[in-house]
Amino acid sequence: MNLYEKIKSNEESLSLVGLGYVGMPIAIEFAKRGVKVIGFDLNAAKIETYKSGNDPTHEVGDQAIKETTVEFTADETALRRAKFHIVAVPTPVNDDHTPNLSPVEGASRILGRNLTKGSIVAFESTVFPGVTEDICVPILEQESGLKCGVDFKIGYSPERINPGDKVHRLNTITKIVSGMDEETLENVAKVYEIIVDAGVHRAESIKVAEAAKVIENSQRDINIAFMNELSIIFNKMGIDTLAVLRAAGTKWNFLNFRPGLVGGHCIGVDPYYLTYKAEELGYHSQIILSGRRINDDMGKYVAEQVVKKLIAAELPVRGAKVGILGFTFKENCPDTRNTKIIDIVKELNEYGIYPLIADPSADANEAETLYGVKFCDISKIKDCDAVILAVAHTQFADLTMEQVASMFKAQENNKKVLADIKGLLDRRAYEDAGYSYWRL
């Protein structure tokens, strides 16, 4: 009986190392399908939150947390009772945009200390090709005293969870799987097929699977960078970018990308993993890094456009009252890590503007800890000179013109600066009403 069959029959358990936006939904789904699951995370406070039946990620909901059979724990020795281990920890970048592998290295050390013979370790963290075999395996071997390929096997299956997306879910997205040999590949594939109804794609090697992940998001990053560059050009021409994209989109093979701020843990990070490895091999990226530079500067660009609009409206810039709606890195998601809205805030600060920020969807404690930002209730966004609609949360998309008007000072509409970054509002309606309206 192979490991997959033992997991299916509950003779062996499966573990998740890292219970964030990726690991927690995976743990919940496996448990829902009848698998014995041990969910481990170093963050004891997070574990207590899950044990109390709360889902701070909003990915599966409180009810699913309350009903799950997952054994949530911050005790690493519990991992010794599992034989199939999934590592789902973040892989951020440093301030100089070089890969920060400390989370995945730390997870490998913890798992290595508690690894038993006959185990399979499947990494999900986004990395450049070679990290799993060249960096993680030696750590696992050193900490465990076991030999990879003899005492334990490894695989790689890149995460494809899209936080906040209620359509493309874990079980509906084809899963890439890989293994160090054919036997491992089959075990990894079969285990993931338990929860992925869309099926799996068996990659030719671990490095192929690692590469596939980093290029998925690099491709999106480059396409969004192109849209952002178009937005800058068309703004200078006095042409509405979204109107241009709607017209161009009538052609069957036009790619439907839009300009915007590129934050989060994937699109704005993964390209740096790929270009870092390319640099090691003596190749300096031309297209990928150019796209990154454009996207990294968009927060500053948005702030500059707001300041220009204030000047055009003959409003004082220093001390201007500005409200920002939304702070998370994407819509309908509480996660503020790697948000690009902070770039807007910092650039406005350079002009002596200290905006009020409202985001009912965001993790307020996280934002204050990471950025020193304190949110206010949306009702406090009033008497403003400018309002920046920054994130396309559902509750913001439903704002009426009357509600938007209530956020501004009682003055002529041509002195009301409205920056609609995501293009949520009816541009023509606000322009006809006389607002100083701008969007990417």
Q: Which residues are catalytic?
A: 266
Structure tokens at 213: 């992940």
Strand boundaries in 331-425, DSSP class E = 356-358, 386-389, 417-420
Name residues whose C-beta falls within 8 Å of residue 350's C-beta, 6 or more positions apart in sequence. Answer: none
Structure tokens at 296: 């990294």
Which residue type is seen at 220?
R
Rounded distance, CA 250 to CA 133, Å? 46
DSSP 133: I
Name residues whose C-beta falls within 8 Å of residue 383's C-beta, 6 or more positions apart in sequence. Answer: 321, 408, 409
From first CA to last CA, the distance across the chain in angstroms is 58
Which residue type is seen at 182?
E
Residues in the chain: 440
Q: 137-144 vs 102-113: helix axis angle to the nearest 10? A: 30
∠ CA 410-412-415, nearest 5°, is: 100
Rounded distance, CA 375 to CA 354, Å? 12
Chain-centroid distance, C-alpha 221 = 13
Rounded distance, CA 297 to CA 292, Å? 9
Please say whether the beta carbons of 39 and 16 come within 8 A. Answer: yes
Chain-centroid distance, C-alpha 207 = 22
Structure tokens at 34: 């009848």
Structure tokens at 243: 């109107």
The three-class DSSP label of residue 122 is: strand
Q: Among 128, 134, 129, 139, which residue's Cα sits nearest to residue 17?
A: 139
Which residue type is seen at 350?
E
Structure tokens at 168: 């493309």
